[in-house]
Amino acid sequence: MVIVGGGVVGAACAYYAARAGLTVTVVERGAVAGGTTGAGEGNLLVSDKEPGPELDLAVLSSARWAELAAEDGLGAAVEYEPKGGLVVAETEEGAAGLAGLAARQRASGVEAVEVPAAELTGYEPHLAPDLAGGMFYPQDAQVQPMLAAAHLLRASGAEVRTGVTVTGMSRSGARVTGVRTDRGDLAAGAVVNAAGTWGGEVAALAGVNVPILPRRGFILVTEPLPPLIRHKVYAAEYVANVASDDEGLESSAVVEGTPAGTILIGATRERVGFDRTLSTAALRRLARQAIRLFPVLADVAAIRAYCGFRPYCPDHLPVIGPDPRAEGLLHACGHEGAGIGLAAATGHLIAQSLTGARPDFDLHPFRPDRFPEQP
């Protein structure tokens, strides 16, 4: 099989497919983890999702990531930290909303522990003192996304061909039998489109419509500090933002420390195409929100900012599984801002599809042909 895309989703597909006995070649236009994976925070979150197919996928993926991290050396190599997430509310209403969300999420297998206002500083000593309450999610975790992609690819034993651009699909009748590249053709029993934000372009090479668009996000990085923030901490408004259809600038800061000592503050959400121009308004909002949660951050220096382009579909669900319109082609893309977290389950499900195993999970909500055909 050939996987198009060397980001974390392609890497997870390679890993599980190889483990299922398939011979895998990964074709990547740039460098490993050079696209959205290289611009991510490494969030493995169950806390930020409303009940539904994506939350189910996230819960499955959380367990898969924990298994991966337990394998020899892999957890340390990818900087896996099962640190848990703390969602905080500024108001009593917000706290009540959090409690309601957690109750619904628990039915999907999410663990959530209510944290009264007075106990918040026990979790995070530097939190603002005037918050109304919070919810702790022990399943939330973190990896360093570039290392995660690179080490999954290495562990897969797949042949990785970087700097190779897929220019077309080889066909035998309607069936996809491989890819054409700028470095020659590659025959394959199956082709997996794991091209992330550029997945729509790869789908178009096979003549099928998978509508994936970029949703820009900025992340701020602080100077390295001694450990200051223990968990992934964000405000309750974040959940509404993730699911929002608004095109304008939205942000709610997710604040977290990293093993390197830097603190990551992310991320904004904007639909502005592939524009890399820095938005000072976006950074200003991130800084304000981070300081609102952790006043101590006002005196900490930001040393870097970067942006990436989340691959989003109109219904905010990823595209996973075989494409009935083009036999031999599978998709594993469109994970929006949750690609790192959902990668493990996605790779696992793609491997099951490829080997004819019955998937652990109903892929119907993620089917590639669910969108209206383009006129």
User: Which of 168, 192, 158 has the alpha carbon at shortest distance from 354?
Assistant: 192
Stretch that binds another protein, among 54-62, 122-130, 160-168, 181-189 (CB under 8 A): 160-168
Please report whether residue 4 would count as binding another protein according to CB under 8 A. Answer: no
User: Which of 361, 360, 355, 313 has the alpha carbon at shortest distance from 330?
Assistant: 355
> Which amino acid appears at position 288 of this protein?
R
Q: How many residues does the chain have?
A: 375
Q: How far apart are CA 51 and CA 107, in angstroms?
A: 8
Please report whether residue 329 would count as binding another protein according to CB under 8 A. Answer: no
Please report whether residue 293 would count as binding another protein according to CB under 8 A. Answer: no
Q: H-helix or E-strand containing 288?
A: helix 280-293
Please report whether residue 131 would count as binding another protein according to CB under 8 A. Answer: no
Interface residue with another protein, options 97, 108, 128, 306 (CB under 8 A): 306
Stretch that binds another protein, among 52-60, 188-196, 217-225, 318-326 (CB under 8 A): 217-225
Q: Least CB distance from residue 80 to another protein, whole Å?
A: 16
Provide the 3-class DSSP secondary structure of residue 178: strand
Residues 6+ apart with CB under 8 A from 145: 8, 33, 37, 38, 40, 41, 42, 340
Q: How far apart are CA 286 and CA 3, in angstroms?
A: 36
- Distance between the two ends of the chain, CA-based, in angstroms? 32
C-beta of 164 vs 342, nearer to another protein: 164
Please report whether residue 154 would count as binding another protein according to CB under 8 A. Answer: yes
Stretch that binds another protein, among 95-103, 187-195, 291-299, 326-334 (CB under 8 A): 291-299
Q: Least CB distance from residue 177 to another protein, whole Å?
A: 27
Q: Are 332 and 344 in contact (CB under 8 A)?
A: no
C-beta of 110 vs 263, nearer to another protein: 263
Q: Least CB distance from residue 346 to another protein, whole Å?
A: 20
Q: Least CB distance from residue 52 to another protein, whole Å?
A: 32
Radius of gyration of the chain, Cα coordinates, nearest whole angstrom: 20
Q: What is the DSSP letter of 220?
A: E
Interface residue with another protein, options 129, 299, 374, 375 (CB under 8 A): 299
Contact footprint for another protein (CB under 8 A): 6, 28, 30-34, 38, 146-147, 150-151, 153-154, 160, 162-163, 220-224, 260, 262, 265, 276-278, 280-281, 283-284, 287-288, 290-291, 297-307
